[in-house]
Amino acid sequence: MERSTNPQLDQILGKEFPCLDHGFVRLIDYMGSDEAIVQAARVSYGKGTKKLQQDRDLIRYLMRHQHTSPFEMVEFKFHCKLPIFVARQWIRHRMASVNEYSLRYSQAQNEFYLPSPEVIRKQSTTNRQGRSDQTLPFELQQQVLEVMKKHIQQLWQDYEQFQQMDLARELARIQLPVSLYTEWYWKIDLHNLLHFLKLRLDPTAQYEIQVYARAIAEIVKIAVPLTWEAFEDYVLEARTFSRLELLVLKQALGQIPAPIDWQSLMQNQGLSKREIQEFLEKIGATSAE
């Protein structure tokens, strides 16, 4: 049985997608496609037994109802180069296999992340974890960069001095800052990768990890276009309502005097009959009007 391949994806295998000042994401290997997802859902192997539209509808149904196991049939292996502080955020997504560059075994490379001036901003007053939209004056941005550069240079000199002393690498690395670049191989299935992207593409995520998430998203779009479309529609750009919010929404809709032609409105957006029916059930409507 031949391995399923994606010609468009094969063209970018090993290609570096630049991230930040020295980083990158590269797709090293992959397994599966949109077709593998629908095959797993149907528990069959017949190629061409279903039309493309039926495959799309099935994938959308799986995404909409959070039937996640078929998406686990697709896997990606990435080679990433990233600052250590980004890696420590990233590693919180535990459902992956990771092998990282070892500073106990190998020497560090003289590459450190320095933010571009426009992303050097004040602390947010509403988000305790992140920066605000308010940029610092240019003079302060340059001052911040000069302080960062000075300490990086000093710490690198200390590290080199430890090397000359033949100090154990596992001790010498203690001096190095989290702005140092590291590398790893990261293998993950599509279901967990989409969860990573949902969180790290969010505007409230740290800018630096958003950059890597956007690079990975471009690869996923090529690999599984039908799944990506469903992911955008039902997860990435979707919003959910609590029980009480939905109750208020139903009450408000019930007070509108003129009937709403839900059928036409939703058909114009390209929703299927099943999607329209499920929406009507959510808002408590008994018919298309």
255 and 188 belong to one structural domain: no
Q: Is residue 82 part of a domain?
A: yes
Domain extent for 260: 243-282
The total number of structural domains in the chain stands at 2
Q: What is the pLDDT of residues 60-115, one digit of tens each?
A: 999 999 999 999 999 999 999 999 999 999 999 989 999 999 999 999 999 999 99
Rounded to two decimals, what is the model's pTM? 0.90
230 and 249 belong to one structural domain: no
Residue whose structure tokens are 């298309």: 288
Whether 215 has a pLDDT exceeding 90, the answer reads yes
Whether 3 has a pLDDT exceeding 80, the answer reads no
Instruction: Assign residue 62 the CATH number of its domain.
Output: 3.30.1360.170
The Cα 18–Cα 24 span in angstroms is 4
Alpha helices in the chain (DSSP H): 7-11, 34-42, 52-64, 84-90, 138-164, 169-172, 190-200, 207-223, 225-231, 243-254, 262-268, 273-282
Q: Given this model, what pLDDT does residue 250 score?
A: 84
* 177 pLDDT tier (thresholds 50, 70, 90): very high
43 vs 103, more confident = 103
163 vs 124, more confident = 163
Computed over every residue of the chain, the mean pLDDT equals: 91
- Mean local confidence (pLDDT), 233-239: 93
- Known catalytic residues are 200
What is the amino acid identity at position 207?
Y
Least confident stretch, 39-53, 60-74, 198-212, 273-287: 39-53
Query: Do the bridges between strand 121-123 and strand 131-135 make them parallel or antiparallel, or are there none, so unpaired?
Result: antiparallel
104 and 57 belong to one structural domain: yes
Q: What is the pLDDT of residues 115-150, one digit of tens each?
A: 999 999 988 888 777 888 888 899 999 999 999 999
197 and 265 belong to one structural domain: no
Task: State the CB neighbour count (10 A cutoff) for residue 228.
Answer: 20
25 and 106 belong to one structural domain: yes
Whether 260 has a pLDDT exceeding 60, the answer reads yes
232 and 268 belong to one structural domain: no
Q: What is the pLDDT of residues 5-21, one digit of tens each?
A: 889 999 999 999 999 99
Long-range CB pairs of 149-156 (<8 Å, 24+ gap) are 149/114, 151/177, 152/112, 152/114, 152/177, 152/179, 156/110, 156/112
How many Cα atoms are found within 13 Å in the side-chain-facing hemisphere of 111? 14
Identify the domain boundary among 236, 258, 273: 236
